[in-house]
Every structure is written in C-alpha cells, then in structure tokens.
C-alpha cells in the first residue's frame, strides 16, 4: 500500500532545520544557464519527535554514530561512549554527540548556540503525493518564519574535520577539477572515484535507456564546489566542501525545481504535485544513490537539481545494499 507524502515527512515540527537561500530572489528564469548554484534545503525529520531542539532524533544517537563510522571508515577512527555522551574520533580529534551538534569537548556546554546536524528518514522511492491539510500547512509556514528569525548556525567542527577543510584556502587545496558526463566541475578529491562510479553506471544505463540518454543531453553544465555560506546565515553550504553538485538545465520546461523559488513566486511549494516539479529520470537518481548521494527531490523542502554525498543517510535507512 502506498504511503502519502505528508505522513512520510511528518509535520510534527517545532523547530525543524533546513537552509534557505537562492541566487534568484523572485524565481528561476526559464533559461538556467545564468544560474551559478542554489542552496540545498534540508529536510525535516520524517517521523517521531523533532530533530535536535527536543533532544531526540528520528534515529537513536548510538545508531547514528555507528552509521557514521561505517560511512567514513577511513576518517572516523573510533567511536565510544564517554563523559556521559557518545563520541567519535574524526582523524585525531574527539567530537561529542551533544544532542546532534557534534562538538569538540571545549564547546559542549555551548551546545544551545548551535543548530543540530540532520540525520533523517530518506525513502527508497517517492511516496504518492497529497497536499497537506490546513493544520500541517500552517506548521510548515511557521517553520519558515521561525528560520527567518533564527537562522541556522551549525558548528563546523564535524564537517571541517571530516573533509580536512578549515577555510577557503584549504578547501581549494582539497577540491579537484574533473569531468562528469562531459561537463567540467570541481569536487572534493576524496569523492573522485565515487563520482566516477556514478558516471560509469549512468553511461551503462544510457546504452539501453533512451529517456536517460535524452535527459543527459538537456544538461547545460554541472556545478560542484562553490565556497559560500547558506544565505542569511553564518553556516557554510555543503558546496563549500565540494561534496554536492547541482544540475544546470538548458530549459526547465516550466516545472518547479526549488521550494524557495516556488514560494517567492507566490505559490505554496508544498502544494506543487510531482508532475509539475522537474525530476531527473529515476535511473539517474538511482546511480547517485548507489554511491551514497542523496537527492534533494525527496526532501519536503525540495531541491530537485541537487545531489549531496551523505552515505550515512543511506545506511541509516537501510538503502546501502
């Protein structure tokens, strides 16, 4: 039996975390060639209590910590429970769970200053679509208002340590220029082989999948690394680490691609059905997911041209087989 969209992304949210930002304040032009990059919205948790602010998670902390160790075995050297909290050793530095903030010991008692990292439900397939009822819609609108008043502020220690990036100079040293499906982009050097495997899978499927082959021809470029903060925040975008890519299309065909652009155009983004949103072919999405990339089109705050490397999310949702 199919599940509806809203039960999957449950809107029992008092303080869900997502990022806001766009290079276009009023909406995307039909010709996307001028768009450099857009910000990735983060999804709310899909079920149960709210991530972070309530002190609980859609997954228990020990499961998340274990998934992180499995996802990054060459970077996370050890996990343990000490000082009354779970901890992970990222290379040579211990970070504590701290209600999802992943903080160094000296900042544990400042945890309330930071937003939590998100570890969320991620479906294998898009659920059937249904519009939210009035109460759920009000809650979503309230989340947006709250985040304008209290912008996301994530402590950078975890991502900095994981990707060995501390500032713009070190990020530039870590990213490499490569080609993907014939388009030049920059990505973190640790993901070169992962992205190459995605490309090999897409090329293999293109031999027998005309829809996929036709879709690849609609791309005008593919963007990756971009040193910048999430709009209106002091938190770095994941593009700054070179672990996310955006597909840039020749034309959008009038379909919606990014929740904030839809909202800025005067429409309720959560009322837009899938057939009015842009989407890559399912085989294209699957090729990325197979290598640990999540697709922003499965987020409630959707970003359908965005992929980012989050293998721990696939592990947590038993999608890594």
Q: Which residue, 119, 78, 84, is CA-closest to 98?
A: 84
Residue 10 has pLDDT above 90, yes or no: no
* Three-state secondary structure call for residue 132: coil
Helix (H) or strand (E) holding 90: strand 85-90
The sign one gets for the Cα dihedral 306, 312, 318, 319 is: positive
41 vs 188, more confident = 188
Residue 284 has pLDDT above 60, yes or no: yes
Mean pLDDT of the chain: 85
Share of the chain above pLDDT 70, in %: 82
DSSP code at position 33: G
169-200, pLDDT tens digit by residue? Answer: 999 999 999 999 999 999 999 999 999 999 99
| pLDDT for residue 33 is more than 60 | no
Is the predicted pLDDT of residue 30 greater than 60, yes or no?
no
Tell me what pLDDT residue 57 has: 59
pLDDT tier for residue 5 given thresholds of 50, 70 and 90: very low
Residue 291 is encoded by which pair of tokens? 């290598």
Q: Where are the domains of the chain?
A: 5-51+114-316
Residue-wise pLDDT for 222-237, tens only, equals 999 999 988 778 889 9
The yes-or-no verdict on residue 53 having pLDDT over 70 is no
What does the pLDDT average to over 212-222? 95
Model pLDDT, residue 39: 45
Q: Which helix (H) or strand (E) holds 198?
A: helix 192-206
Sequence-separated contacts (24+) of 113-117 with Cβ below 8 Å: 113/153, 114/153, 114/154, 114/155, 115/17, 115/52, 115/152, 115/153, 115/154, 115/235, 116/17, 116/51, 116/52, 116/53, 116/154, 117/154, 117/158
Quick: pLDDT tens for 156-166: 999 999 999 99
H or E segment and range at residue 284? helix 282-290
Q: What percentage of the chain exceeds 90 in pLDDT?
A: 74
Residue pair 243/188 in contact by the 8 Å Cβ criterion: yes
Triad 40, 44, 47: Cα angle to 5°: 150
Map residue 103 onto helix, strand or coil. strand
DSSP code, position 72: -
Among residues 236, 56, 60, 238, which one has the least CA distance to residue 155?
A: 236
| pLDDT at 76 > cutoff 50 | yes
Q: What is the mean pLDDT of residues 292-315?
A: 96
Q: What is the pTM of this model?
A: 0.85
- State the average pLDDT over residues 84-95: 97
Q: Where is pLDDT greater, at 231 or 60?
A: 60
Q: Transcribe 9-26 into DSSP letters.
A: S----SS-------S-SS
Q: Which residues contact 34 (CB under 8 A, 6 or more apart)?
A: none
Structure tokens at 233: 């925040």
């Amino acid at each position: 039996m199919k599940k509806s969209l809203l039960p999957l992304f449950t809107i029992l949210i008092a303080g869900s975390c997502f990022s806001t930002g766009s290079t276009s304040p009023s909406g995307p032009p039909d010709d996307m060639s001028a768009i450099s990059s857009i910000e990735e919205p983060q999804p709310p948790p899909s079920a149960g209590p709210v991530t972070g602010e309530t002190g609980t998670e859609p997954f228990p902390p020990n499961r998340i910590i274990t998934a992180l160790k499995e996802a990054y075995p060459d970077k996370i050297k050890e996990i343990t429970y000490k000082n009354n909290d779970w901890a992970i050793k990222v290379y040579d530095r211990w970070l504590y769970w701290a209600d999802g903030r992943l903080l160094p010991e000296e900042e544990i008692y400042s945890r309330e200053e930071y937003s939590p990292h998100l570890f969320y439900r991620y479906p294998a397939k898009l659920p059937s679509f249904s519009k939210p009822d009035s109460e759920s819609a009000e809650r979503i609108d309230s989340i947006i208002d709250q985040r304008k008043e209290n912008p996301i502020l994530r402590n950078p220690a975890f991502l900095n340590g994981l990707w060995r990036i501390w500032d713009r100079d070190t990020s530039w040293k870590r990213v490499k220029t490569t080609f993907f499906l014939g388009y030049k982009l920059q990505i973190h050097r640790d993901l070169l082989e992962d992205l190459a495997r995605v490309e090999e899978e897409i090329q293999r499927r293109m031999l027998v999948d005309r829809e996929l082959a036709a879709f690849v021809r609609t791309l005008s470029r593919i963007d990756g690394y971009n040193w910048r903060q999430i709009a209106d925040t002091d938190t770095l975008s994941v593009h700054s680490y070179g672990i996310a890519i955006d597909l840039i299309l020749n034309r959008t065909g009038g379909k919606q691609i990014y929740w904030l652009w839809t909202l800025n155009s005067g429409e309720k983004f959560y009322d837009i059905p899938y057939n009015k949103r842009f989407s890559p072919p399912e085989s294209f999405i699957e090729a990325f997911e197979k290598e640990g990339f999540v697709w922003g089109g499965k987020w409630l705050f959707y970003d359908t041209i965005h992929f980012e490397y989050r293998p721990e999310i696939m592990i947590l949702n038993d999608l890594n087989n």
